[in-house]
Structure 1
Amino acid sequence: MVAIPNHHFFQWVNQLEKSGHEVYWFDSTDGGPEVSRISWVKQIKSWKLRWDFPFRSAIKKQLPKLYTSIQKYNERKVSTVFKQKLNEIQPDIVHCFEMRLAGFPILEVMEKSPQLKFMYSSWGSDIFYYKELGVQETQFKRFLSRVDYIITDCKRDFKIAQTNGYNHEGYSVIIGNGGLAIDFESIQTLSERQIIMIKGYEDGVGKALEIIKALELLPVALIKDFEIVIYSANILVKEYVEDSSFFAQLKVKIFERGQFVANSELLKIMGKSIIHVANSLSDGLPTSAVEAMGMGAFPIQSNPGKVTEEVIINGINGFLIEKPNDVEAIANLIKTAIENKQMRARAQEYNVHFVQQNYNRTQLQQEIINLYQRVKLN
């Protein structure tokens, strides 16, 4: 496995525990210490620095230009270390998660090992938004032409891959974290739900400020009895809300992006929420929306490249945001969802069942285990 330290990756790899596979993780960014939640995996960490010299952190902070000059000689290249580990381990399969941070750094090594099976899991905007993320078309096609097996979280991205160099028949559409474990005890009834939940990404792709501004267009009376919970909030979102006289009248809780909140805690909040709103210019299958659906919250979600409509039927089990920059349209969707309790009740029943049938972690586990065996033998 080649990946950055990431919750979805940890969730995926844990599906292989006790499967009989011997699993190594090469941390492509060498970020942080070993991860206890995947302690059974052999973790390749602390490879980047040739010498962790005294006062390194202080020099990095106070003398950044000097630090950059030193690191040109002090940091090992990803490809060099990866090639060395590849020769030591002699794996049957290399599986990379995400293209730019995990795939590209090892591509040259994988091209020189054509007999080695190479799997790739696309994440988020990896494929759909590659040009906007600064990836050249030639590099994108070169990478896909080396991949032997592709896993996407939506049908849209597989079709794009096919037209851009991926020339194998093998593929799977599986949610990026390997499935959801729904906590049914935390799914509250419609009358018990008292939270409006918002994903707070505002980073060029994420458009959370449009959601925040949409709420400001609503009558205070409509939402004053609800708590507004904003999670994974960028600093721009936090500052905007704190400076808003509108939000000063409401109960608001903000979890900043980078602030650790256990996934189980987020699921419990979803289980208490009437709606879950997330908005972006690009995404793969929005995992947070699927989680919210599984916990009974009515999803209001952007639909870049028509990916979200693979799981949300507009007006039936959720609402699709077709124009991420249209604040008034988003406000109307939120207002309609809050006011139409009957629609939310039907959607809750449908969505909890839908997610359990299609994204159940226990059911997906054997499919994922078998997948590696199949790729190895082909």
Structure 2
Amino acid sequence: MLSMFSNHFFNWTEQLKDTDHEIYWLDVYDSNTKVEKLDFVHQITGWRYKYDYPGRHFLKSKLPRLHKGVKIFNERKLSHIFEKELKRIAPDVVQSFALQPAAYPILDVMKKYPKIKWILSAWGNDLYYRQQTGIDDILNIKQTLPEIDFLFTDCKRDMLVARSLGFKGKELGVFPGGGGYDLEYYAQFRVPFKNRNIILIKGYESHLGRCNKILEAVCYLKKELQNYELIVFGGNKRVEEFIKQKQLDNWENFNFFGKIPNIEVLKYMGRSLIYIGNSISDGMPNTLLEAIVMGAFPIQSNPGDATREIINPEQNGFLIDDPEDSNRIARLIKRAIELPELRQQAIAYNDKFIRPTLNRNLVVNQVVNKYKFIQDNLEN
């Protein structure tokens, strides 16, 4: 397995803990950190630097041009390390988690060993966004996908996109990027509908995230929202600056948090009336699934119609059709707070039809069966 250091990857891999597979993980960016919950996995870390010399972090922050020059000579290439480990381990299967960090860099190596099967787990913006970003990404995608033997995606949309861009292998199905959720454990953090008073906002602002458009919408609704607690989580400097600019930090009912542990996010969701996430590109957002698990009414952007695979507007949530239009987002928020019966019916629908499909045990059984299918097809 090749992946960046990621909780989604850890949660996915944990699904194989009680199987008889022998698993190796090559940390593609080399955090040089062993992950305790993956103690059943052979973890390949500490490979990136020839010399982890004193002052490297200082040089990187204070003298970036010099650091860049030193880096050329001091860093080992992922493809070289991967091939070395491939020869040592002689695996039946290689699995890449996301195209850009974990598949493109090893393409030439995998072509040299065609008998070794190759799985891709496509995450988030892996296919839908990258197909639109320019000729380099398109070329990389179209060169890589025909070499992939098996494909996991987190939404149906991306399976279709993969086919259109050259994937000819076997589809393994659509699963949450981090596997399922322990519904019984998380149920303890769900408070009754009548006791919820939080509007929770994902603070994702970047070339893809559009949290500030949600906050702009919030500014239009100061009077309507005065009796609710507004919480932004996972926000960065762009979000913080926008909050100060709009003086949202002066609102008594407004709270801003930077990066917080995922369990804290889930606890907030368990106390939230409404969850809002907004971006111009994504697969199936994990935070949307977490909101459904925790009983919050979801308002979520819908790039490429991926979110519509889960959310049917007016039935079990609202979709943001234009992530750049703060006026339309404001209308959705206003409608959601004015219709408590609709919210309650939506949560009841999600609890009955969507939440059970995210059960960890159910997903684990399905995923383990997919790996059994791969095992049965190794010679084909």
Same fold (TM over 0.5): yes
Distance 1:239 1:32, change over 3 A: farther
Shift of 1:233: 0.8
Partner Cα separation in structure 2 for residue 213 and residue 120 of structure 1: 38
Aligned to 1:26: 26
Contact 1:23 1:42 (8 Å CA) reproduced: yes
Alpha-carbon separation, structure 2, partners of 1:352 and 1:39: 34
Q: Which one of 218, 224, 242 corresponds to residue 215 of structure 1? A: 218
Q: Which amino acid aligns with 2:223?
A: A
Q: Which residue of 1 is the match for residue 257 of structure 2? A: 255
CA RMSD of aligned residues (A): 1.4
The answer to which of 168-177 and 313-322 deviates more is 168-177
Shift of 1:122: 0.6
Q: Which runs of 4+ in 1 moved over 3 A?
A: 131-135
TM-score by length of 1: 0.95
Give, in whole Å, the separation in 2 of the partners of 1:155 and 1:189.
33
1:150 matches 2:155: no
| Inter-partner Cα distance in structure 2 for 1:55 and 1:234 | 27
One-letter amino acid matched to 2:236: N
Match in the other structure for 2:160: 159
TM-score (norm 2): 0.95
CA distance in 1, matches of 2:355, 2:131: 35
Q: Is the 8 A contact 1:295 1:352 kept in 2?
A: no
User: What per-residue deviation string (whole Å, max 9, x for no partner) do you get for residues 171-221 of structure 1?
Assistant: 311111111223112222221001100011110111111000001111x33
Verify: 1:224 aligned to 2:226, yes or no. yes
SS of residue in 2 equivalent to 1:285? coil
Report the 3-state secondary structure (helix = DSSP H, G, I; strand = E; otherwise coil) of the residue aligned with 1:100.
Answer: helix
Change (3 A) 1:245 1:60: closer
Q: Is the 8 A contact 2:249 2:255 kept in 1?
A: no
SS at 1:65 equivalent:
helix
Question: Does the CA-based 8 Å contact 1:294-1:353 persist in structure 2?
Answer: no
Structure 2 gaps of 5+ residues are: none
Judging changes above 3 Å, is the alpha-carbon distance between structure 1 residues 339 and 374 closer, same or farther for their aligned structure 2 residues? Answer: same
CA distance in 1, matches of 2:169, 2:318: 35
Which whole-Å CA distance do the structure 2 matches of 1:50 and 1:108 have between them? 23
Gaps of 5+ in 1: none
Distance 2:76 2:248 in 1: 51
SS of the aligned residue for 2:204 comes to coil
The aligned counterpart of 1:171 is: 172
Identity of aligned residues (%): 37
User: Following TM superposition, by how much is the alpha carbon of 1:247 offset from its aligned partner in structure 2, in angstroms?
Assistant: 4.7
Listed one character per residue, the Cα deviations across residues 303-353 of structure 1 (whole Å, up to 9, x for unaligned) are: 111111100000110000001111111000000101100001111111123
Residue in 2 that maps onto 1:9: 9
Give the match's secondary structure for 1:16: coil
Do structure 1's residue 191 and structure 2's residue 194 form an aligned pair?
yes
For 1:151 and 1:296, locate their aligned partners in 2 and report how far apart those are by CA, in whole Å: 27
Give the total of aligned pairs.
374
| Kept in 1: contact 2:27–2:43 (CA 8 A) | yes
Instruction: Name the amino acid aligned to 2:220.
Output: L
Which stretch has the larger CA shift, 58-67 or 45-54?
Answer: 58-67
The structure-2 alpha-carbon separation of the partners of 1:133 and 1:10, relative to structure 1 and needing over 3 Å to count, comes to: farther
Instruction: After superposing the two structures, state which structure 1 stretch, 62-71 or 204-213, moved more.
Output: 62-71
- Distance in 2 between the 1:136 and 1:293 partners? 33
Match of 1:363 in 2: 362
Residue type of the alignment partner of 1:206: G
Q: Find the aligned partners of 1:23 and 1:127 in 2 and give their Cα distance.
A: 26
SS in structure 1 of the partner of residue 243 of structure 2: helix
- 5 Å matches for 1:174-323? 174-182=175-183, 183-218=186-221, 220-256=222-258, 259=259, 261-323=260-322
Larger displacement relative to structure 2 (161-170 or 112-121): 161-170
Distance between the aligned counterparts of 1:252 and 1:246, measured in 2?
Answer: 7
Q: How much has 1:32 moved relative to structure 2? A: 4.0
Q: Counterpart of 2:21 in structure 1: which amino acid?
A: H
Asked if 2 retains the 8 angstrom alpha-carbon contact of 1:92 and 1:117, the reply is yes
Structure 2 residue identity aligned to 1:231: F
Distance in 2, Cα, partners of 1:123 & 1:177:
10
Work out whether residues 302 and 322 of structure 1, in 8 Å CA contact, stay in contact via their aligned partners in 2: yes
Aligned to 2:124: 124
Matched, 1:38 2:41: no
Q: Which residue pairs with 1:373 in the alignment?
A: 372
Q: C-alpha distance in 1, partners of 2:55/2:294?
A: 48
Distance 1:307 1:254, change over 3 A: same
